[in-house]
Amino acid sequence: MMADPIDNPPAARPPADEALVREIAEQVVSALNLEVSPGDIDPRAPLYREGLGLDSIDILEVALVVSKRYGFKLRDDDQENLRIFRSLESLAATVAERRTK
């Protein structure tokens, strides 16, 4: 996987569209068997700790589902990792930018 999309220079991010945010919210809720309904997750609230309360185990599960569904891989040495999982909206923006399917 030499051509990892993270090697690309940061470009202007397209605004996350609502349908994609909702689609990812549904996948997160179903992958993690969460207590909330997808529509109730604040797209700008933090995904981990206070906020949705996800931990590193959840992040691995979400990364797996997202990488299968949208065809790109996440890496931790990527400086942007914290930003990607900052909120549903930032995760959706990353998906929109890097997806290959």
Partner 1 sequence: MRTGPHPAAAEGNLPLVAHADPRSVAAWRRGEPVTAGRLLADVRRAAQCMPEGGHLLNLCADRYAFSVALLAAVTRRVTTLLPPATTPAVIDALRGFAPGTGFVSDNDADLPDLPRIPLAFSAPGDPECGTVPLVEGSRVAAIAFTSGSTGAPQPHAKRWGSLFRNAAAEARRLGIAGPGHAILGTVPPQHMYGLESTVLLPLLSGAALTAERLFYPAEIDEAIRRAPPPRILFTTPFHLRNWLESGTTERLETIVSATAPLSEALARETEARTGATLLEIYGCTETGQLATRQPTVSAQWHAYDGVRLREEDGCTWASGGHIEEPTALSDLIDIDPGDAGRFHLRGRAADMVNIAGKRNSLAYLDHQLAAIPGVVDGVFHFPEEARPEGVTRLVAFVVAPGLTPEAILAALRSRIDPVFLPRPLVMLDALPRRGTGKIPVEELRRLAARAASSRLREDA
* Interacting residues toward partner 1 by CB under 8 A: 1, 4, 34-35, 37, 49-50, 53, 55-57, 60-61, 63-64, 67-68, 73-77
Cβ nearer to partner 1, comparing 15 with 49:
49
- Distance, in Å, from the CA atom of 44 to the CA atom of 71, rounded to the nearest integer, reads 24
Provide the H-helix boundaries in 1-101.
Answer: 18-32, 56-70, 81-84, 88-98
Report the residue number, 6 or 96, with the smaller CB distance to partner 1. 6
Q: Which is nearer to partner 1, 20 or 54 (CB)?
A: 54
Helix 56-70 × helix 88-98 angle, to 10°: 30
